[in-house]
Amino acid sequence: MKEWTISSPAGRLHLHKSASLVGLKRDGSQESATASDAVLSELGGFELVRLPEAVDIDRALDDIRERDTVRVGTHVYTAGSDDRPVVPTGLIYCQLAPGVGEAESQRVFESLHLDTLERRADGTVVLSVTSRSRNPLHVASALEQLAMVQTTTPDIDVPLDQYYTAPRDGLFAEQWYLDNSGSVPNVPHFPLKPGADARIRAAWSRLGSLGSDRITIAVIDNGFDLEHPDLRGKASHALTVHSNQATVPRGSAYGDHGTPCASIALAPANSLGIVGAAPNARLMPLHGLTYSSYLTERMFSHCVSRGANIISCSWGTIDSRYRPGRYHELAVRKATTEGRGGKGCIVLFAAGNEGRDYLNYYCQLPGVIAVGASTSNDTHPAYSNRGRGLSVVAPSDGGWPVLAARASWDTGISGADGAKKYYVDGRDRGPHHKHFGGTSSATPLVAGICALMLSANSELTAAEVKAVLERTADKIGSPASYDASGYSEQFGYGRVNAERAVVEALRLRGLDTAPAAPPPLVELRVADRARSGYGLQIGAYRNQDGVVQLSKQLRQTLDLPVLISEEQGAGSTLYKLILGQFDTADEARAQLPRVRAAGYPGFVRELATVA
């Protein structure tokens, strides 16, 4: 049949068989199955390929199924005027009528050549087609005609939307969203609003640290470059959702979105690249965005069983035909109530970038923290979806973009000269980063803030974390946009404030919330020496903790004294790191080959000129 009507969370979904797309699961060899090109590497566990339009799609698929390298082949469908591919995964959720016994139903399932994967207490049976079964849509339709069956829902997968903003045409100082002084270094003609940030740096000071290394943030997405300098050594309990393998794939065929999202949440303070909101947190990368109910259950169950504290999801849909249904909701509810030993995992979803007056449907699931975006000037970016259910907003693109890690295979976008572009202003910031944005960026930023809150008070429940985020947020935008209860459909309860959230987490733990002094630098200064002579300036940084770590590394590696000079700027502090103290410039210059051989830049600086 070319047309099918199936049950879905949105009601009846009308599907039309594609005339050119098929889905394949292959063994070993990845030879093209008479395909002119691969369309998607993963959808419902299948690789989607396009056959020539002129072929008979049924006959062509039968021929492909006969190949030794093809384990399973399936038709692909579309819904109405939407050209996104829809793939039956081969699984069927069957809700039995009350009183139907296991033996009775099992006889029926076996007669249709179905395998029984699960029998659940609520009467749901999860079935799988076999090589002897008919098309899963046909089988679901046949089951639905039986009096013993209340409903059947064939499991389908469809590409979901990733909520990022592409580039429009040491880096801590450029991370205005952590601590906004009103400008970005070397970007003179783009003023920002001082204080239009998430107060991350202030939260670190309140904690007296960069957060706990016992907190794990699960990022569910596609395309993780775990060898990136901002992610290397951070990951544990990885999962490729479709194959259930304990690893994540590499390469452009698998996307690149997960890399910047993860870096925004937890890039380490290692004096390289950028710094995430929770630099000490661990990463649990789950590769494989999916609408499939069964695979959604798998991904959230993995997060719960492997100890994720926070689950960050920068994806979803505003298409009502593919709104999450009962089994999606149960999977998320299990995480928010049973995770963390019963305290609940904190689950965040991006509001979406379609500029609509309603949110990504996944944001509407109970217990979810729905995250929108704000700009570098504390305004609402037009792309960020609005509506009831929005929890908070967080700094992102719309003014000056966010800086994030980029996968080594990220191709960027082509400029007018054919060159690849990664930065809005065209100024190169090195091979490992790019400008990023959208609610995709705002969501992991809030996930990192949640990690700081749990570092302050690990006993907080998921519901308490959500409540604290909302009541400690800063009201931005016009006061008229907020109702009497302090809620705005543009900004939710306001722009997230990490410092206030951490202070409240500490208060709920019963700890003193007086301002904490920043980690001391005194022992690293050459404070008792006159600032005369010359040294080698290694760099200037705004991340105090990173400077401390780098100073220790320099002293251990090169056995030279270190001077750290503090220079106060507009709302922030710049730390200049000087290596050595020599009587003459030539003596300092003589150390340059050794310093550079150790991997550090440097130039001669007269100490008397250091602020």
Q: Tell me which residue of 538, 447, 449 sits closest to 500, measured CA to CA.
A: 449
On the 0-12 / 13-18 / 19+ scale of CB atoms within 10 A, 55 is middle
Please name the residue ranges forming H helices in 36-101: 57-65
Neighbouring residues of 448: CB distance < 8 A, sequence distance ≥ 6: 200, 217, 264, 265, 266, 276, 277, 278, 281
As a whole number of angstroms, the distance between CA 278 and CA 266 comes to: 5
**Known catalytic membership, residue 528:** no
Rounded Cα distance, 232 and 282, in Å: 11
Q: Are strands 534-541 and 573-582 parallel, antiparallel or unpaired?
A: antiparallel
Q: What Rg, from alpha-carbon coordinates, does the chain have? A: 27
At 240, list the tokens: 């490729």
75, 228, 237, 257: the active-site residue: 257
Please give the Cα distance from 606 to 585 (Å, whole number).
8
**Burial of 214 from C-beta contacts in 10 A (0-12 / 13-18 / 19+):** middle
Q: Which of 157, 179, 221, 410 is catalytic?
A: 221
- Nearest Cα neighbor of 212 from 442, 505, 429 is 505
230 belongs to the catalytic site? no
Considering 141, 292, 440, 565, which one is annotated as catalytic?
A: 440
Residue 221 bears catalytic tag: yes
Neighbour tally for 17: CB within 10 Å: 17
* CB atoms inside a 10 Å sphere around CB 438: 26
Q: What is the DSSP letter of 511?
A: -
Q: Which residues pair with 3 in a beta bridge?
A: 16
DSSP string, 390-431: --EEEE-SSSSPEEEE--TT---EE-TTS-EE-STT-----T
Task: Report which secondary-structure segment, H or E, holds 42.
Answer: strand 37-43
Q: CA-to-CA distance for 377 and 400, rounded, in angstroms? A: 9
d(C-alpha 426, C-alpha 188), whole Å: 14
Question: Which residues does the annotation mark as catalytic?
Answer: 221, 257, 440
